[in-house]
């Protein structure tokens, strides 16, 4: 029997990747296309919506050519497509699919003043109750408000009911289906600050509060759902269904098989997103954690708690690029092991604020505990240790109510190659740290969801058998020492608060 495949698109902030997976979750072909951002004013980050779409077509075309060269020139075994996408970034367009403004990227800070205005109005708790989110420029709605207040043409199109809003998945579905599909999934909707995650519908109260009643909003469906068909502008001889759409961090949680309460993942790159599945009933988030939707099927919605860390790999890049303490980031592991301990040196990586569970964007980084005996190896070790400290604090905040306890922490991202960091993290946690070594885990998650809808997999249990060779880390002999250091690091953070 001819093998069957799923094509997965991972539309990210700096590039679009396309991966074709076989039925066992192994990569058959992959390709990527770069995507540029524009910075028209300080704090503003934008992208060309047409460039986002072109990057998808370019990436898909290159991946299909790779598949043709490596596997087969017969594409009939490709059953369906799944899409994961950069979250919170959004596009406004008209009925014909013409953008009304540049795409506003999740990193954009243009709505800082609007966020402060909303906080001062006392609506913060109501927003959290309805959406699960905090008032922050990170999420889409405050930047929509900014466009409506500052771009007269956008305001007019919204009031006239002609402005179509969508996160990147909705924009791509609209374009890929020639305007036949105007829809998003639960996870992407849950990141807009406009979606009631308990009622699973757009929140008309908030839309009215912010004078956005005329905004056109996509239909909301499960992550695993048939979203129409596409041939990628002729790159496939016959159309295939778009069988899944999901935000990239949620896709990574699904790809890491965080399918039961207490299963969590940490994507550790420049920063980190830690997401814990809390089951099919929403749990209240504490502090700077947010409640969100982990993933959804036609008959099931799983919720999650999430914490965002601002600086992980970025801290090591700063030591490398700005201070010249190491030639390559990978050198950090051997440098950390060259000293017996951190020598009392602690680094608080608040270079652009401190993320969850504090969410103090006004803080700045600090190195504490330096003596004449401190070496650059101590500082590098302190920088590496700051990554597990932050992740452990988020996990502790997630477990604080005692309702859901961590079963294991799946990790992905570039930092997972650093065994010092992985072991130190395991020494701080009450459960194992598991690195499956899965490449393109967000794409894998989108592919798994698409495969479920397309009938390639009969149920979730069929996904558990995906081949991987995990590296598993558990607390070792140094656990008590690591936890003692964590207490000292928390004291260092306290001095900055």
What CATH number is attached to the domain comprising 331? Answer: 3.30.420.40
Question: Are 133 and 36 members of one domain?
Answer: yes
Look at residues 224, 246, 268 and tell me which one is the last residue of a structural domain.
246
Q: How many domains does the chain have?
A: 2
Residue 461 falls inside a structural domain:
no
Q: In this predicted model, what pLDDT tens digit does every residue of 235-257 receive, in sequence order?
A: 999 999 999 999 999 999 999 98
Question: Are 41 and 127 members of one domain?
Answer: yes
Give 341's pLDDT tier (boundaries 50, 70, 90): very high
Instruction: Determine the pLDDT at residue 463.
Output: 81
Asked if pLDDT for residue 414 goes beyond 70, the answer is yes
State the burial class of residue 151 (Cβ atoms within 10 Å of its Cβ: 0-12, 13-18, 19+): middle
Asked if pLDDT for residue 438 goes beyond 80, the answer is no
- Are the beta carbons of 473 and 267 closer than 8 angstroms? no
Distance CA 346, CA 178 (A): 54
Give 224's pLDDT tier (boundaries 50, 70, 90): very high
| Overall average pLDDT of the 287-297 stretch | 92
Instruction: Determine the pLDDT at residue 467.
Output: 61
Question: Are 174 and 61 members of one domain?
Answer: yes
Q: In this predicted model, what pLDDT tens digit does every residue of 175-210 receive, in sequence order?
A: 999 999 999 999 999 999 999 999 999 999 999 999
Q: In this predicted model, what pLDDT tens digit does every residue of 68-89 receive, in sequence order?
A: 988 888 899 999 999 999 999 9
Distance CA 268, CA 184 (A): 26
Look at residues 211, 246, 281 and tell me which one is the last residue of a structural domain.
246
Which token pair is 3? 């093998």
Give 360's pLDDT tier (boundaries 50, 70, 90): confident
Question: Are 268 and 212 members of one domain?
Answer: no
Of 89, 94, 88, 114, the residue nearest 104 (C-alpha): 89
Asked if pLDDT for residue 413 goes beyond 90, the answer is no
Which structural domain, as residue segments, surrounds residue 422? 258-437+467-497
| Overall average pLDDT of the 285-307 stretch | 92
- Are the beta carbons of 437 and 255 closer than 8 angstroms? no
- Are the beta carbons of 144 and 216 closer than 8 angstroms? no
Instruction: Determine the pLDDT at residue 144.
Output: 96
Question: Are 75 and 162 members of one domain?
Answer: yes
Kindly provide the residue ranges of all beta strands, DSSP E only, lying in 48-181, ordered along the sequence. Answer: 78-85, 90-93, 103-104, 164-167
3-state helix, strand, coil in the chain (%, to 5): 35, 25, 40
> In the predicted model, what is the mean pLDDT of the chain?
92
Instruction: Determine the pLDDT at residue 285.
Output: 82
- Are the beta carbons of 422 and 411 closer than 8 angstroms? yes
Question: Are 476 and 405 members of one domain?
Answer: yes
Distance CA 334, CA 452 (A): 43
Share of the chain above pLDDT 90, in %: 72
Residue 312 falls inside a structural domain:
yes
**Is the whole-model pTM more than 0.85?**
yes
Question: Are 76 and 124 members of one domain?
Answer: yes
Distance CA 436, CA 227 (A): 30
Question: Are 364 and 403 members of one domain?
Answer: yes
Question: Are 242 and 268 members of one domain?
Answer: no
Of 324, 462, 486, 464, the residue nearest 4 (C-alpha): 462
Look at residues 216, 246, 276 and tell me which one is the last residue of a structural domain.
246
Question: Are 191 and 280 members of one domain?
Answer: no
Asked if pLDDT for residue 493 goes beyond 50, the answer is yes
Per mean pLDDT, which of 219-228, 407-416, 478-487 is the most reliable?
A: 219-228
Residue 460 falls inside a structural domain:
no
Residue 430 falls inside a structural domain:
yes
Q: Residues with Cβ < 8 Å from 317, sequence gap 6 or more? A: 270, 329
Share of the chain above pLDDT 70, in %: 98
Distance CA 291, CA 276 (A): 10
Residue 451 falls inside a structural domain:
no
Instruction: Determine the pLDDT at residue 1.
Output: 46
Q: Which residues of 370-398 are buried (b: 16+ CB within 10 A; e: fewer)?
A: eeeebeebbbbbbbbbbbbbbbbbbbebb
Question: Are 97 and 223 members of one domain?
Answer: yes
Which token pair is 293? 């939707």
Question: Are 227 and 273 members of one domain?
Answer: no
Angle at the Cα of 169 from the Cα atoms of 164 and 175, rounded to 5 degrees: 65
Asked if pLDDT for residue 172 goes beyond 70, the answer is yes
């Amino acid at each position: 029997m001819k093998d069957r495949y799923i094509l997965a698109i991972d539309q990210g902030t700096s590039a679009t990747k396309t991966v074709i997976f076989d039925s066992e979750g192994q990569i058959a072909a992959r390709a990527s296309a770069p995507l540029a951002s524009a910075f028209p004013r300080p704090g503003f980050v934008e992208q060309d919506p047409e460039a986002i779409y072109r990057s998808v077509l370019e990436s898909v075309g290159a991946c299909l050519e790779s598949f043709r060269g490596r596997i087969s020139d017969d594409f009939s075994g490709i059953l369906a497509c799944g899409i994961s996408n950069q979250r919170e970034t959004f596009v406004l367009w008209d009925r014909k699919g013409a953008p009304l403004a540049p795409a506003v990227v999740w990193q954009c800070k243009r709505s800082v003043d609007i966020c402060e205005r909303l906080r001062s109005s006392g609506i913060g708790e109501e927003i959290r109750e309805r959406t699960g989110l905090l008032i922050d420029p990170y999420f889409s709605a405050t930047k929509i408000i900014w466009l409506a207040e500052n771009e007269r043409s956008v305001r007019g199109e919204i009031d006239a009911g002609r402005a179509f809003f969508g996160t990147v998945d909705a924009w791509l579905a609209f374009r890929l289906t020639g305007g036949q599909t105007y829809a998003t999934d639960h996870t992407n909707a849950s990141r807009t600050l406009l979606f009631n995650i308990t009622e699973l519908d757009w929140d008309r109260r908030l839309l009215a509060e912010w004078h956005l009643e005329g905004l056109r909003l996509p239909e909301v469906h499960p992550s695993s759902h048939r979203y129409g068909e596409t041939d990628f502008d002729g790159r496939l001889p016959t159309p295939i269904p778009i069988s899944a759409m999901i935000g990239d961090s949620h896709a990574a949680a699904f790809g890491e098989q965080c399918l039961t309460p207490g299963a969590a993942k940490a994507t550790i790159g420049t920063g980190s997103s830690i997401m814990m599945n809390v089951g099919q009933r929403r749990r209240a988030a504490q502090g700077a954690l947010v409640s969100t939707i982990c993933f959804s099927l036609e008959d099931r919605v799983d919720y999650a708690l999430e914490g965002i860390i601002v600086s992980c790999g970025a801290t090591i890049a700063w030591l490398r690029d700005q201070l010249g303490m190491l030639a390559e980031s990978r050198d950090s592991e051997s440098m950390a092991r060259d000293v017996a301990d951190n020598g009392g040196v602690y680094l608080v990586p608040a270079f652009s604020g401190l993320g969850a569970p504090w969410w103090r964007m006004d803080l700045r980084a600090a190195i504490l505990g330096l003596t004449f005996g401190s070496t650059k190896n101590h500082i590098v070790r302190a920088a590496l240790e700051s990554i597990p400290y932050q992740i452990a604090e988020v996990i502790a905040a997630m477990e604080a109510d005692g309702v859901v306890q961590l079963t294991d922490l799946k990790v992905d991202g570039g930092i997972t190659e650093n065994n010092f960091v992985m072991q130190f993290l395991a020494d701080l946690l009450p459960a194992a740290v598991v690195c499956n070594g899965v490449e393109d885990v967000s794409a894998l998650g989108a592919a798994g969801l698409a495969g479920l809808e397309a009938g390639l997999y009969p149920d979730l249990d069929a996904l558990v058998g995906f081949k991987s060779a995990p590296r598993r880390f558990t607390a070792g002999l140094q656990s008590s020492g690591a936890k003692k250091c964590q207490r000292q690091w928390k004291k260092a953070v306290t001095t900055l608060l």
